[in-house]
Amino acid sequence: MLDLTHPQTQHSPRLTIIRAMRVETKTIPNATLGAFCEENHVALMHSCTHALMHTSRGVLDGLTFATKDVFHIAGSRTGFGNPDWIRTHSAEKTTAPVVKSLLDAGADMLGRTLTDELAYSLSGENFHYGTPINSAAPDRIPGGSSNGSAAAVSGQVVDFALGTDCGGSVRLPAIYCGIMGIRPTHNRITTDGVIPFAPSFDVIGWFASDATIFEEVGSVLLDQPAMSLDVKRLIIAKDTFSLVDSSVNEVLKPIIKSLVDKFELTKEINVSQDRLAHWFEIFRTIQGSEIWANRKQWIKEFHPVFGPGIRERLEWASTIDSQTISWAHSEYVEINNYLTNLLEPDEILCLPTSPRVAPLSGTETNTLEIVYRTQAMNLLCIAGLGGLPQISLPRVTQGGLPLGLSFIGAPGSDMNLLALAVNLVSQPSF
């Protein structure tokens, strides 16, 4: 057993109003949220390099953002949620292209945000750096691994924030923190300049609390203009709702009805043919094998210290044998082909993002793993296995705690999903 202890664009009216209300003076984010990195903090306004200065004005002019601590920034060390990682890595020579795109569009980066260790968790609780405050539910975890980015947006410290999503690291914290999040089509946005996790599933996503900003960030990162909503059919993934806590289903029923009433054509399907648990096993096997392949040399060389949950997860990943990996990849090809061809460009699949509301901070590790992480990933693995875009939209509450739904689209339908977000959140019935 391995030792793992140790050109100027026309703004929308809504966005113009938002900017008119914004205070011009930018300040360092409020540290009390615990969302931002301190050990390797980088903020645009305090940067000593001109490489981070936005060079033009664009659709994001006047907006602020933050980046998960997996994006490389020239002249600074990327932390990856672990002090031993910072200690054993040098400053980066280049800045991630996705960060440059946002800066060139006029946005200001206020800083780096915390992530779970090696991005290998969905809880948002970092053994070394603490847990960012979930402003939507302060006694609850924010979700991870893009925990700091979600917390910064939920706490209104920034207008939007970058995260990464492999097994749900944008979508789940978005729901827990009561904001919008997106997992784009796989390989739609370059991951150059981002620490790899499990490349078969890794994507760059983002958070926002305002739908117009959510969409405008997408137009920059996807290099595609906003579009009119084009959805002809709503498909309810009925088998996914069978995994949801009964009390949550009761809260979601009215919103599902409002959606069914909104679309002329709707149908229900058993999206997985009752194989969600099997799908998750395929996903976690490939994910774990790729994580271990990317990190084993560093772990063996430096013996980093990992917190509870992360340590055990890596230990398990180290035991996945080649035969199991081969089997998982064979199954994955079949599942991916099915999901890739499941939806037409004008169809969307509706499902819950999470089986239940965010757990209380300090929830025991085994409970987090079995009751929350594993069950949530039975839902979250669907888009990952298909390489499909998915948005997570909060809209209702259970006892004051955020809940919501997800929508999956066909490959490349990212801007249509963002148009859907703008359309739905503007309606009181949703």
From the candidates 76, 145, 146, 289, which is the catalytic residue? Answer: 145
Same domain, 212 and 268: yes
349/283 same-domain check: no
Is there a domain that residue 211 lies in? yes
Residues 262, 302 within the same domain: no
**In terms of domains, do 395 and 281 share one?**
no
Residues 294 and 428 in one domain: no
145 catalytic? Reply is: yes
* Domain co-membership, 270 together with 281: no
Tell me: do 230 and 357 sit in the same domain: yes
Q: Does one domain contain both 291 and 345?
A: no
- pLDDT for 430: 74
Whether 262 is catalytic? no
- Higher per-residue pLDDT: 58 or 182: 182
What is the rounded average pLDDT for all residues in the chain? 90
Q: Is 68 an active-site residue?
A: yes
Report whether pLDDT(1) > 90. no
If DSSP states are collapsed to H, E and C, what string results for the chain?
Answer: CCCCCCCCCCCCHHHHHHHHHCCCCCCCCCHHHCCECCCCCCCHHHCCCHHHCCCCCCCCCCCEEEEECCECCECCCCCCCCHHHHHCCCCECCCCHHHHHHHHCCCEEEEEECCCHHHCCCCCCECCCECCCCCCCCCECCCCCCHHHHHHHHCCCCCEEEEEECCCCCHHHHHHCCCEEEECCCCCCCCCCECCCCCCCCEEEEEECCHHHHHHHHHHHCCCCCCCCCCCEEEEEHHHHCCCCHHHHHHHHHHHHHHHHHCCEEEEECCCCCCHHHHHHHHHHHHHHHHHHHHHHHHHHHCCCCCCCHHHHHHHHCCCCHHHHHHHHHHHHHHHHHHHCCCCCCEEEEEECCCCCCCECCCCHHHHHHHHHHHHHHHHHHHHHHCCCEEEEEEEEECCEEEEEEEEECCCCHHHHHHHHHHHHCCCCC
Instruction: CATH number of the domain at 155, please.
Output: 3.90.1300.10
Shared domain check, 86 and 144: yes
Q: Which of 68, 149, 200, 289 is catalytic?
A: 68
> 296 and 368, same structural domain?
no
pLDDT tens track for 111-158: 999 999 999 999 999 999 999 999 999 999 999 999 999 999 999 999
Q: Which one from 76, 123, 169, 289 is the annotated catalytic residue?
A: 169
Is 0.85 topped by the overall pTM?
yes
What is the per-residue pLDDT for 57?
59
Residue span of the structural domain in which 354 resides:
14-276+331-430
- pLDDT for residue 149: 98
How high is the pLDDT of residue 427?
81
User: Are 264 and 124 in the same domain?
Assistant: yes
**One domain for residues 243 and 286:** no
